[in-house]
Amino acid sequence: TQLTMRTFHTGGSASADDITQGLPRVQELFEARTPKGASPIAESDGRITIDETEKSKKVILTPDNGDEPHVYPVLKRATLLVEDGQHVTVGQPLQVGTLDPKEIMRVQGAREVQKYLVGGVQGVYRSQGVPIHDKHIEVIVRQMLRKVTVVDHGDTPLLP
């Protein structure tokens, strides 16, 4: 891979551990796996309430439009990125941690998940000093998102 090739071109100045440490993250992003301890994201604009008991912690999002509140159970030791009474917007992470690409797709759509995947992969490569133009990663991400499943075929008079 490009990260491994980098050691050859730099004369071995970068250790193999430095170069390959980011590859599991790249693999996780390209395979769109749900990361362990993924941070929940706000499903709508609204106000946050934090419900903390001795055994559990919950972040409750009351949507501005009056819909049913969303309850997000979080680990008691999790570091929250939101405070009680804070207003949040759609897609805003609620705790520290990596995001689940499937959740971003469900809540915000294809464009936002594309940005997240490209940014995540670029972050790994740039942290190792490997410059890659966005277009190369965008080609892979576009291929990842090109297939869809038709959930409801609908009813149209336009086709015979």
Please name the residue that has the structure tokens 């969303």.
70
Residue type, 78: A
Question: 40 and 80 in contact (C-beta within 8 Å)?
Answer: no
**Looking at residue 62, what is its pLDDT?**
94
How far apart are alpha carbons 125 and 92 in whole angstroms? 25
- Look at residue 49 and give its three-state secondary structure: strand
The pLDDT tens digits for 75-98 are 888 899 999 999 999 999 999 999
Q: Are 122 and 64 in contact (CB under 8 A)?
A: no
Q: Is the predicted pLDDT of residue 14 greater than 80, yes or no?
A: no
Name the residue among 40, 49, 47, 50 with its Cα closest to residue 64: 47
In this predicted structure, the answer to whether residue 54 has a pLDDT above a threshold of 60 is yes
Tell me how far apart the alpha carbons of residues 136 and 141 are, in angstroms, rounded to a whole number: 9
- What are the extents of the domains in the chain? 2-36+103-144, 46-97
Range 46-97 classified under CATH 2.40.50.100: yes
Which token pair is 101?
Answer: 């690409």
CATH number for 2-36+103-144: choose from 1.25.40.10, 3.40.50.620, 1.10.1790.20, 1.10.10.10.
1.10.1790.20
Query: Which of the residue ranges 18-27, 44-53, 70-79, 123-132 would you say has the lowest mean pLDDT?
Result: 18-27
Three-class SS of residue 134?
helix
pLDDT at 5 over 60: no
Instruction: Tell whether the torsion through CA atoms of 138, 31, 42 and 98 is positive or negative.
Output: negative
